[in-house]
């Protein structure tokens, strides 16, 4: 690990983060699982999100589960900590969100057997299943699906299940992720609010946890309605979390519903005409079933042309849509899901994505993690073959843009950033969408004879797939490279990326057009 990278990352951490991180490490050695009491819930949560009946049948009948495009044997004896699976996948297994799939398949018997097996096998609070993030999601999932799993259950299972619920709700307040913050902290508070609303021995904490959530919402949701980690995927997650919290309240506070109303059009701004999410920062194109359920419930709010605080712009002309990122990478203290993607854009013609960013693929894959985070993996401008932000380790950034601008200049939208200030360079991209297609002007300012290029990623290696919709033209020098496209986690397909360089070399500007055919 490069010491310079680490120092440039650490200098942005808040002192409280460092303090909480040290406390958590000391705490881990002495952590004990509290005893739980089998108290029945005062009330149950609503269940508005549909499950996948096919996956539920696979779990119950075949003893196999499909999560994040990876399958695993889920028949006794169950391996709840498969070391051959990535950490994100193992976390997802411990979320128990897949209870919705068993519910859709009508297999409460299988749900009870798996829950009981988990309780018997996961008795150490220092194992990954008790990490506060999966703990928060599992606590909420068990409370949400309690009516389903308890109906027809014998007294032994009922006591086992309710005692474990109570124990999890007692442990979570000791593990709140103040050292991480962001969407993790929202998940922690969601679990605690649900426990306080549903479990009789936790009701006294409801007001305090709601106030803690309000403070986080004030910090994390920007004035334009977008989540401050600037990832469409995590914006969607936080939006659903807040909807779930609102649903469990008999009288939701006004600030909560007002926040949801602001977040919905912000989400629409980052959705392509195919209904999926744009690939900026970490995440994927989204769960189509979840997005459709959101649309059925809330309708389809009109996208916004500009999210000035998050730094996104949306251009539309005919059946063409362009989504442009000219914002900062992330909150400076929270770099986990940031990519070096400033001034990147994605483009659709109808429901066909024709220019994309490469996606995320995996968090813990050392061969691919920081390729997918790199500037070269995005449809943006790259100087001297370097990243516009120093991506390293799994979730860290060293140097990154300190200033990013997004503004209109007549019928052009203009983005500018200083991620290459160590080279004495500012980078600018100007975009204009007309009925004929997208025009772009890329420029580097501040250094003589710069070496820079514009990258354009296409979601398929098949030239005809995008070529039937668009054609890139420029007086610059064009090179074609093999690339990778990851529309979902652990799904990676061969793709193409085009590298456009100024002609003659050393020029500080290049113009290009993507013509609609």
Q: Which two tokens stand for residue 285?
A: 């194109």
Nearest Cα residue to 121 out of 111, 109, 113: 113
Please give the pLDDT value at position 109: 97
* Size of the chain, expressed as the number of residues it contains: 517
Per-residue pLDDT, averaged over 182-186, amounts to 98
Neighbours of 509 (CB within 10 A): 15
Q: Dihedrals φ, ψ of 213, to 5°?
A: -65, -40
Counting Cα atoms < 13 Å in the Cβ hemisphere of 216 gives 24
pLDDT class of 274 with cuts at 50, 70, 90: very high
DSSP state of 276: P
Please give the pLDDT value at position 230: 98
Strand pairing of 412-417 and 404-409? antiparallel
How far does Cα 271 stand from its chain's mean position? 14
Asked if residue 463 has pLDDT above 80, the reply is no
CA–CA dist 397, 389 (Å, integer): 7
Q: What angle do CA 514, 360, 372 make, to 5 degrees?
A: 70
Asked if residue 237 has pLDDT above 70, the reply is yes
pLDDT class of 506 with cuts at 50, 70, 90: confident
Query: What stretches of 289-436 adopt beta strand conformation (E)?
Result: 306-307, 312-317, 320-325, 345-349, 352-355, 381-383, 391-392, 396-397, 404-409, 412-417, 426-434
Give the SS3 label for residue 478: strand
> Hey, what's the torsion of the CAs at 324, 328, 329, 332, to 10 degrees?
-160
Q: Dihedrals φ, ψ of 173, to 5°?
A: -60, -25
Neighbours of 2 (CB within 10 A): 11
Asked if residue 465 has pLDDT above 80, the reply is no
DSSP character string of 365-388: -TTTHHHHTSGGGSSSEEETTB-S
In b/e form, how buried is each residue of 459-497, taking b as 16+ CB within 10 angstroms? Answer: bbeeeebbeebbebebebebeeeebbbbbbbbbbeebbb
* SS3 per residue for 16-67: HHHHHHHHHHHHHCCCCCCCCCCCCCCCCCCCCCCCCHHHHHHHHHHCEEEE
Asked if residue 467 has pLDDT above 80, the reply is no
Asked if residue 1 has pLDDT above 80, the reply is no
Bigger pLDDT: 341 or 28? 341
Neighbouring residues of 354: CB distance < 8 A, sequence distance ≥ 6 = 347, 348, 458, 459, 466, 469, 470, 514
Tens of pLDDT, residues 31-72: 998 988 888 888 888 889 999 999 999 999 999 999 999 999
Share of the chain above pLDDT 70, in %: 98
DSSP character string of 52-106: -HHHHHIIIIISEEEETTEEEE-SSSP-SS-TTS-HHHHHHHHH-TTHHHHHHTT
Per-residue pLDDT, averaged over 86-103, amounts to 97
Task: Record the pTM.
Answer: 0.96
User: Which residues face 65 on adjacent strands?
Assistant: 72
pLDDT class of 469 with cuts at 50, 70, 90: confident
Contact 492, 485 (CB under 8 A): yes
Please give the pLDDT value at position 466: 62
Tens of pLDDT, residues 366-414: 889 999 999 999 999 999 999 999 999 999 999 999 999 999 999 999 9
Please give the pLDDT value at position 44: 85
- In 452-504, which residue ranges form alpha helices assigned H by DSSP? 463-467
286 backbone φψ class: left, alpha, beta (φ>0; ψ -120 to 50): left
Nearest Cα residue to 186 out of 225, 212, 222, 207: 212
Tens of pLDDT, residues 95-149: 999 999 999 999 999 999 999 999 999 999 999 999 999 999 999 999 999 999 9
493 backbone φψ class: left, alpha, beta (φ>0; ψ -120 to 50): beta
CA–CA dist 503, 476 (Å, integer): 5
Please give the pLDDT value at position 390: 97
Share of the chain above pLDDT 90, in %: 87
């Amino acid at each position: 690990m490069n010491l310079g990278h680490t120092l440039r990352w650490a200098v942005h951490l808040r002192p409280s983060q460092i303090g909480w991180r040290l406390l958590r490490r000391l705490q881990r050695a002495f952590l004990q699982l509290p005893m739980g009491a089998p108290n029945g819930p005062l009330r149950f949560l609503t269940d508005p999100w549909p499950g996948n009946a096919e996956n539920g049948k696979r779990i119950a009948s075949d003893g196999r589960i499909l999560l994040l495009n990876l399958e695993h044997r889920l028949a006794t004896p169950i391996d709840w900590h498969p070391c051959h699976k990535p950490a994100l996948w193992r976390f997802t297994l411990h979320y128990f969100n897949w209870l919705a799939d068993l519910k859709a398949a009508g297999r409460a018997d299988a749900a009870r057997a798996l829950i009981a097996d988990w309780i018997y096998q996961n008795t150490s609070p220092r194992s990954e299943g008790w990490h506060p993030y999966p703990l928060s999601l599992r606590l909420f999932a068990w409370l949400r699906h309690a009516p389903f799993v308890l109906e027809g259950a014998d007294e032994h299972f009922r006591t086992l299940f309710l005692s474990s619920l109570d124990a999890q709700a007692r442990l979570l307040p000791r593990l709140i992720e103040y050292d991480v913050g962001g969407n993790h902290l929202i998940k922690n508070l969601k679990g605690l609010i649900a426990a306080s609303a549903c479990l009789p021995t936790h009701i006294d904490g409801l007001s305090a946890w709601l106030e803690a959530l309000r403070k986080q919402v004030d910090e994390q949701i920007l004035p334009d309605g977008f989540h401050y980690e600037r990832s469409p995927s995590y914006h969607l997650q936080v939006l659903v979390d807040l909807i779930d919290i609102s649903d469990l309240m008999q009288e939701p506070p006004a600030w909560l519903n007002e926040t949801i109303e602001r977040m919905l059009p912000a989400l629409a701004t980052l959705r392509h005409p195919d209904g999926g999410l744009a690939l900026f920062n970490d995440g994927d194109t989204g769960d189509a079933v979840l997005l459709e359920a959101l649309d059925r419930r809330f309708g389809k709010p009109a996208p916004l042309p500009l999210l000035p605080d998050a730094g996104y712009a949306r251009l539309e002309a005919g059946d063409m849509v362009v989504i442009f990122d000219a914002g900062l990478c992330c909150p400076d203290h929270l770099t986990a899901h940031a990519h070096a993607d400033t001034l990147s854009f994605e483009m659709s013609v109808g429901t066909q994505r024709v220019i994309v960013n490469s996606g995320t693929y995996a968090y813990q894959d050392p061969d691919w993690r920081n390729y997918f985070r790199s500037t070269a993996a995005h449809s943006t401008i790259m100087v001297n073959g370097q990243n516009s932000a120093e991506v390293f380790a799994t979730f860290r950034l060293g140097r990154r843009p300190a200033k990013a601008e997004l503004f209109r200049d007549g019928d052009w939208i203009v983005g500018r950033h200083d991620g290459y200030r160590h080279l004495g360079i500012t980078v600018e991209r100007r975009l204009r969408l007309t009925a004929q297609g997208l025009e772009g002007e890329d420029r580097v300012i501040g250094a003589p004879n710069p070496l820079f290029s514009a990258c354009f990623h296409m979601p398929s290696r098949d030239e005809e797939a995008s070529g039937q919709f668009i054609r890139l033209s420029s007086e610059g020098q064009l090179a074609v490279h093999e690339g990778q496209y990851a529309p979902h986690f652990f799904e990676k397909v061969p793709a193409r990326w085009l590298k456009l360089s100024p002609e003659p070399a050393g020029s500080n500007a290049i113009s290009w057009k993507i013509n609609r055919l």
